[in-house]
Amino acid sequence: MAHPIYLDYNGTTPHAPEVIAAMRPFLENAFGNPSSTHWYGIRPKRAVEQARRQVAGLLGCAPAEVVFTSGGTESNNHAIRGAATNLSGRGRHIITSTVEHPAVLAVCRYLEAQGFSVTLVPVDSEGLVHPADVAAAIRPETILISLMHANNEVGTVQAVAEVAALARPRGILVHTDAAQSLGKIPVDVAAMGVDLLSLAGHKLYAPKGVGALYIRRGVSLEKFCHGAGQENGLRAGTENVLEIVGLGQACEIAARDLEANQAHMQSLRDRLEARFFETLGDIRRNGHPVMRLPNTLSVSFKGLEANRILEEIGLEVAASAGAACHADSVALSHVLEAMALPLEWAKGTLRFSLGRMTTAAEIDRAAAVVIAAVIKLRKAAGQV
Ligand SMILES: Cc1ncc(COP(=O)(O)O)c(C=O)c1O
């Protein structure tokens, strides 16, 4: 049987063939420890430094400003906890938004338990944070603002540069979680004016379990991991050479192909969206109409349950749900809840996320399968 059509690239991505090719020598032969001073250490050490240059090239920063991590979650933990701990003498107030990934929200909750105070800035019905609301939340003791670049569920892209412009004159650090935006839209740390930026390899055609944190030169964070002196003393432990090489290659490809991938994903995403809207009534798109990732389509089918649709289409299409319905309750995603999406819409929300490998034939087939499932379920529920 053929595999279902993969439309969950915001969940994770397959490995790019160039990424596999770049990693292969480090899986097969070049096993040395980059810290070794003998022959075996030379190639892995050079490879890690080349990867650091490749990541820096995509972000527009200096290689020395890149620290390798185990992924988006670790980068967010290090950025937020490391900054808060280091700056706690100056203030103990942090600003973030209601639609962040749990890897930001849970760190903030942890810090609250340690005596910090956290303001969660709301979003509007399109998932957008208004910079004026961030400005209103700033206090003399604010030390850090963490605002995601693009949302994983609905794709809304935040005005991070505007928020950074508010923060900078006040000496407040700005962190952005760019796990979802990198490789899909331009990400340039200087243009964004951020001090800290998180990225995750597996959203970018590199392996799971590797990522990086950009730390602007001059910004100091508490160490993430104590031990030997790897990663400039910030993250001790022998480097994950294999995956760091994969991440570097993925960043190089992302920089090279950004415009082509962006146009490809957007035209197919818009085609999928158009199919749904041409054929079905009682549906709505979530997220900002314009400031949105080019690959993401969050769509609500009124009156239906997301998991029922996913069961119905599961053999042919792999997508993800925005709400999980249980016997007597519905667990809405915190993002849809923050956007105040009414329950009868929210519970029937699916996220389709496309990638550079997605084809027009896949989109046409997926649209037909989803439309047939929605019509069937609505008939069964007596809605049509
Ligand atoms: C916006 C965002 N931040 C952080 C993460 C976590 O990244 P990782 O899975 O590499 O820990 C994800 C992954 O789902 C994400 O979408």
* pLDDT band (50, 70, 90) for residue 384: confident
17-32 pLDDT, tens digit each: 999 999 999 999 999 9
Write down the domain spans for the chain.
Answer: 5-12+258-380, 17-254
Whether 251 sits among the annotated catalytic residues: the reply is: no
Residue 287 has a pLDDT of 98
Mean pLDDT of 333-339: 96
62-115 pLDDT, tens digit each: 999 999 999 999 999 999 999 999 999 999 999 999 999 999 999 999 999 999
Classify domain 5-12+258-380 at the CATH superfamily level.
Answer: Aspartate Aminotransferase, domain 1 (3.90.1150.10)
Q: Is 204 in the pocket of ligand 1 (CB under 6 A)?
A: no
Phi, psi of 188 (to 5 degrees): -135, 115
- Share of residues in the chain with pLDDT > 90 (%): 96
292 close to 273: Cβ distance less than 8 angstroms:
no
Question: What is the 73 CA–ligand 1 centroid distance (Å)?
Answer: 6
Write down the CATH number for the domain with range 17-254.
3.40.640.10
CA 198 to chain centre: 9
Mean pLDDT of 351-355: 98
174 close to 164: Cβ distance less than 8 angstroms:
yes
Mean pLDDT of 202-226: 97
What DSSP string runs through 110-136? HHHHTT-EEEEE---TTSPPPHHHHHH
Task: Indicate the top mutation candidate among 9, 177, 204 to test ligand 1's pocket, ranked by most ligand atoms within 8 A of CB.
Answer: 177
Catalytic residue among 61, 108, 225, 325: 325
Query: How many angstroms separate the CA atoms of 31 and 41, rounded?
Result: 8
Q: Is 211 in the pocket of ligand 1 (CB under 6 A)?
A: yes
Tell me the pTM. Answer: 0.97
Residue 1 has a pLDDT of 61
CA 173 to chain centre: 20
Query: How many angstroms separate the CA atoms of 193 and 60, rounded?
Result: 11
Where in 221-325 does DSSP place strands (E)? 283-286, 296-301, 317-318, 320-321, 323-325
Residue 297 has a pLDDT of 98
Helix, strand, or coil here: 150?
A: strand
Mean pLDDT of 125-138: 98
Task: Indicate the top mutation candidate among 69, 96, 101, 296 to test ligand 1's pocket, ranked by most ligand atoms within 8 A of CB.
Answer: 101
Average model confidence (pLDDT) for the chain?
96
For residue 352, give every residue at least 6 positions away whose Cβ sits within 8 Å of its Cβ, in sequence order, or none: 7, 269, 272, 296, 297, 298, 299, 319, 366
What is the rounded (10 degree) CA torsion for 56, 60, 64, 65?
Answer: -100
271-295 pLDDT, tens digit each: 999 999 999 999 999 999 999 999 9
Output the furthest CA–CA distance in the chain (Å, rounded).
73
